[in-house]
């Protein structure tokens, strides 16, 4: 099911189709991806079920496949959700396969998620980036997000926090 579209991308729900499960597993077991994420054990079937349940509870939120319109390939995930353990903060994030890095897909997918959230009435969106993840910090800057400095409020890990307000 398509959640939203951008010029080059179709943002859709991840499915239990073998191709989706295999691609998710490939993304979320790669050290070059997981080094920037909080520690977790990945199970594609459970991830699809959990992400679908989040979207069904509140259609504004989810973790969705970023599908490249031209090729049909799943480049990765864009997430848009309340920050676990937060005080109502809503986070935008992205996890792309290394073969999809450097194409602007993270910025394009995240921008679409943020616009969708603002259209639904949200006043602000944040991003949490592990220190040293210069590529993701560059995405935050391209989105026009303001750096708020380092925090340990979420996931019991140090992260760079960024914020974007609807009114600019």
- Dump pLDDT digits (tens) for 3-41: 999 999 999 999 999 999 999 999 999 999 999 998 888
Host domain of residue 51: 2-165
- Radius of gyration in angstroms for the set of CA atoms belonging to the chain, rounded to a whole number: 15
Which contiguous run of DSSP H or E holds residue 56? helix 44-57
Quote the number of domains for the chain.
Answer: 1
pLDDT value of residue 39: 85
- Dump pLDDT digits (tens) for 67-107: 999 999 999 999 999 998 889 999 999 999 999 999 999 99
Say which CATH number the domain at 80 has: 3.40.630.30
Whether pLDDT at 151 is above 90? yes
> Residue 166, exposed/middle/buried by CB under 10 A (0-12, 13-18, 19+)?
middle
């Amino acid at each position: 099911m398509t959640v939203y579209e951008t010029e080059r991308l179709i943002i859709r729900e991840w499915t239990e189709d073998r191709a989706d499960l295999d691609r998710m597993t490939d993304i979320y077991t790669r050290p070059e991806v997981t080094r920037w994420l909080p520690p977790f054990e990945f199970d594609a079937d459970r991830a699809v079920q959990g992400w679908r349940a989040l979207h069904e509870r509140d259609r504004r939120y989810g973790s969705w496949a970023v599908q490249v319109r031209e090729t049909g390939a799943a480049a990765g995930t864009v997430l848009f959700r309340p920050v676990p353990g937060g005080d109502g903060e809503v986070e935008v994030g992205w996890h792309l396969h290394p073969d999809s890095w450097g194409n602007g897909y993270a910025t394009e997918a995240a921008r679409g998620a943020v616009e969708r959230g603002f259209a639904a009435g949200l006043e602000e969106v944040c991003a949490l980036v592990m220190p040293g993840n210069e590529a993701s910090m560059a995405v935050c800057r391209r989105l026009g997000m303001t750096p708020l400095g380092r925090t340990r409020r979420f996931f019991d890990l140090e992260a760079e926090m960024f914020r974007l307000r609807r009114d600019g």
